[in-house]
Structure formats: C-alpha cells, structure tokens
Amino acid sequence: MLDVSHVTKKYGKMTAVNDLSFHLNPGEVTVLLGPNGAGKSTLMKSVIGFLKYQGEITVAGYPNKSVEARRVLGYIPEMPALYPNLTVSEHMEFLARAYRMKDYKDRIEMLLERFELSDKRKKFGDELSKGMQQKLNLCLGLLPDPQMLMLDEPMIGLDPHAIKELKNVIEEMHDQGKTLLISTHIIDSVDMLWDRTLVLQNGLLRANVTRKELDDSNKTLEEMFFEVTEGVSQEHMREDAVSEEELNAEPEKKKSGLFGRR
C-alpha cells in the first residue's frame, strides 16, 4: 500500500530523514515510534507530498503526488490548520464539498457527536479551545474516509474521552481493512491494535517489526524500543516526553509516567 524507497530529506545541512526504505501492506495498522525530532513528521509530510525529498514514494502503486494517490491517502497533521472565520460545521461542509463527497451530512453528524463537538458546531475556529481544535482536526481528517490514513501524534492534546473514541475509530478502520500509519513519541499511547511498528531515531529506521515478530521475541514494545535506540539519552527522551505543554494537555499521563512501566 505504501512503498518508501531510499527517502532522504534535508533541511539545509541537517538530515531529518536519512535513506528510509520500508513497505506497508494493505490493511495494516503501523505505529511510527520515535523521540521528538526523530523525523516522524518530516516523513509523513514527504509521503503526503508537502515536502521535496530525494528517493521514491508510491501509494497503492501510484507516485505519491499523483491524483490517484491523493484519492487514496489522507493525512491528519499534528497542528490543526483551521480558518478563524469558519464555524465547526462550515469547516466540515467545506471539506466535504472539496472532496466532492455525496450524502456527507450523516457522517459529519456522526463524527461531531463522537468527538463531542455537536454543541460547538456554531463556534468559529478561533473560538475553539486547543483540545477542541485538535478534535475538529481529527474529524476533518476522518471525514473523507480514505483507504490509507496517516495520523501525526493524534493523541496529543485530547481529553480521555476523545482518546478512547479515537482508539475505537482506529479499531473500526482496521476492521474495515484500512491502512493506517500513526506517529507517536509516547510508548504508552500505542497499547492499541497495531500490526507493525517502525522505530525512527535521528532520521534513521532502527526497527521494523510486526506484532508477531515482537510476540515471538518475548519482548515488550518498550523493551524492544530501548534495545534498538540504545545510545540515545533516555533522559533526553524523558525531557521531551514531559514537556509542560503536554502535561497540561493530558494530566493523566503525569500519573502513569510516559515511559512509566520501565
């Protein structure tokens, strides 16, 4: 479904993604795990075609920037890009029309309901709290129901209800045979249905394991993660993980510890 072949992305002299190659099968849920700055967002932005890079990327056999690939692939960015002067409903309507969706009203209602935005439908983009913006961002990404969806750090900023709902949505999409690529730097947040984990560190692919391979190795995801990223300062990762912004957004993580089971 997704073929990434020798992809390198440099910002000036800095190599953010370094000669990455991997393949995702149709219907797989893949977690892209790595500390902050590992290159996860850069990889996703390259796949969706927002960045120039070296190497080749195809989606369902089509070059990633082709119209055919765009029909198949969706992307939910980490940072919501909302219009300050459009309401929640207008954002959804606008996107549905841009995708020339038919009979989209029920799907809009269902998504707003699930992410507790129904009573916010008349609020403007700049009237929404950060968490509400994140939820609208999710609803917008889910609306076209693409065959393959990339979600960049989707749990950040969500309240517990929305996290649960998002996990349900991910499971449903998995059951429907959709292909998902979900980035995160928080190991605990991926105790969900996943088929494959890619570990990225300093722009390099450190591991590409299926759930079966991990189970057969009798290791936890966390153990495997630290094994393949040895040498990277764990202090550095903890600092990244417990940034004040995230703690405020998701207080329950503070209690469990972001890498708490270690």
Which residues of the chain form contacts with ligand ADP (CB under 6 A)? 11, 14, 16, 34, 36-42
Shortest separation between residue 12's beta carbon and ligand ADP, angstroms: 7
- Give 142's contacts (C-beta < 8 A, 6+ positions apart): 76, 111, 149, 169
Distance between CA 62 and CA 259 in Å, rounded?
38
Shortest separation between residue 256's beta carbon and ligand ADP, angstroms: 22
Query: Which of helix, strand or coil describes residue 196?
Result: strand
Shortest separation between residue 34's beta carbon and ligand ADP, angstroms: 5
In this complex, which beta carbon is closest to ligand ADP, that of residue 8 or of residue 66?
8
Q: How far is CA 235 from CA 91, 142, 245, 251, 260, in A?
A: 41, 35, 18, 20, 13
Three-state SS across 50-117? Answer: CCCCEEEEEECCEECCCHHHHHHEEEECCCCCCCCCCEHHHHHHHHHHHCCCCCCHHHHHHHHHHCCC
Shortest separation between residue 16's beta carbon and ligand ADP, angstroms: 3
In this complex, which beta carbon is closest to ligand ADP, that of residue 17 or of residue 138?
17
Residue position matching structure tokens 């903890």: 238
Distance between CA 25 and CA 59 in Å, rounded?
11
In this complex, which beta carbon is closest to ligand ADP, that of residue 34 or of residue 80?
34
Residue 39 per-residue DSSP state: S
In this complex, which beta carbon is closest to ligand ADP, that of residue 114 or of residue 196?
196
In this complex, which beta carbon is closest to ligand ADP, that of residue 111 or of residue 199?
199
Shortest separation between residue 43's beta carbon and ligand ADP, angstroms: 7
* Buried b / exposed e along 32-56 (16+ C-beta atoms within 10 A): bbbbebbbbbbbbbbbbbebebeee
In this complex, which beta carbon is closest to ligand ADP, that of residue 32 or of residue 163?
32
In this complex, which beta carbon is closest to ligand ADP, that of residue 16 or of residue 190?
16
Shortest separation between residue 161's beta carbon and ligand ADP, angstroms: 26
Shortest separation between residue 156's beta carbon and ligand ADP, angstroms: 11
The DSSP line for 106-147 is HHHHHHHHHTT-GGGTT-BGGGS-HHHHHHHHHHHHHTT--S
Shortest separation between residue 106's beta carbon and ligand ADP, angstroms: 34
In this complex, which beta carbon is closest to ligand ADP, that of residue 37 or of residue 144?
37
